[in-house]
A and B are shown apart, each in its own frame.
Chain A
């Protein structure tokens, strides 16, 4: 099913981890992150390839969400936070002091675990970011909104009430709206922070189905507490524990023959 470009970008799955040889969308080297004295991430090095769904799993407080927030520099908002190490998106240095945060956040979209629709209409939620990025054409915006809603599998449910307040949607619809809102920014990377933690199984299935569609055109990083979801929805996975990277590799390999005993324990549910 892969198109030639994707086949070129995405090496055939093997049992060995080929971080160094693979082309990188995101590269992180020796990343450490501190909240005051608490070290949330310790010396993490990772490569994330273009157009893959990369999973991050681990118990709470293992640094998963923090890692996502480093990638779009939302970590700057935490008071008393400090970051060490380097990170690149393509060739752009994310830690550079002159990094344009507004542009970066448009390239790297973040969907939070709790859906936060803005207190506006469904339409305005979708068009706010592209409009402020300079897109003024009403028809273009409407088309973009429709495409994003369709991609997030929400179009059929809301197409007749786009002017209604987004707060009136159900939880699952709100989460898909937040995903659609991120897609409408036309980002390159999508970060998903436990996007289905508050959702029922049907909404969860819809979101996962959406992900498998989206990875054709986006690089996706999925953080989840749900190991089954990680196994279902990701190509490669990293297991984090208390800020340490325990293991990284192809999802099939990690879930069948984990190299580290702690990974084995975690995925088989013996702790976490």
Chain B
């Protein structure tokens, strides 16, 4: 049997781990560079501000940008209060027991449901049963269900990480439980909660399967929540799938990827500011 010096093993493992990290980064860089090279030439002010024409073969992507922002914003506005609320309930108002374990298990299972199945569920419930039709609202509701487990999980972890001493100190200062949660626990957990919400924004921006079933693919700019709308991801899928226009598909992809990166960067900067304020 080959016996290596611990220092050799150390060097070997370090290089291996470095290679793994490097490889992961390389994939990310490759995707971004590839999409930018093929897509960015299409992205002009006109591309962003004009409606698609001729099924998307010509014109811009204005309506899909609006639909994406509309659906994502609505989904997060719906999911964030529910998710953070559930996390507060699970961590602050219940003692660890079989009920919390069932709730947590349920939410984890929800996270494991394939998005295409979730899309079908949203189609049956919101589009058909509740008669909302293919609409921004149906899409947002289904997306909200999809990202709920992410928000619950990350918020729970963030709230749990707030030192127990803070709560004790607050109670001994005569703060009620609710005041303790709103004044100290949530502000301290905010960076973690924000991370979860930003992850959800990313997931929502890029989601395709769910929205094909629930928001439809209308190319008009959605005005009310009951209008159908085609998001950038769905637009990209249809352009590429039906071979309508690969340059426009890549242009859409570039806008999508860059906006996700920009949003993450903005959230990160904001978080750093918040952290500085509270520590």
Contact = CB atoms under 8 A, between A and B. Distances in A.
A128 B95 contact: no
Contacts of A22: none
A102 interface: yes
A194 B28 CA distance: 54
A132 B279 contact: no
Q: Is the interface of B mostly helix, strand, loop or mixed?
A: helix
Interface string A66-78: 0000001010010
Given A132-B179, A165-B279, A167-B279, A118 B171 contact: no
Interface string A165-197: 101000000000010011001000000000000
A102 B173 CA distance: 8
A102 B176 contact: yes
Interface stretch (B14-22, B48-56, B61-69, B162-170): B162-170
Nearest to A118: B184
B168 A112 contact: yes
A119 B175 contact: no
B97 to A, nearest CB: 10
Contact of A109 (B95, B166, B172, B278): B172
Contact of A105 (B166, B173, B183, B279): B173
Interface in B9-68: none
Nearest to B170: A118
A182 B173 contact: yes
B112 interface: no
A72 B183 contact: no
A161 interface: no
A110 interface: yes
Interface in A94-112: 102-103, 105-106, 109-112
Closest 9 A/B residue pairs (Cβ): A106-B174, A110-B172, A105-B174, A129-B173, A116-B165, A116-B169, A119-B278, A102-B176, A102-B174
Interface of B: 95, 163, 165-166, 168-176, 179, 183-184, 187-188, 278-279
Given A74-B171, A102-B175, A105-B172, 8 more contacts: A77-B171, A102-B174, A112-B165, A112-B169, A116-B163, A119-B278, A182-B173, A185-B174
Interface of A: 72, 74, 77, 79, 102-103, 105-106, 109-112, 114, 116, 118-120, 128-129, 132-133, 165, 167, 178, 181-182, 185
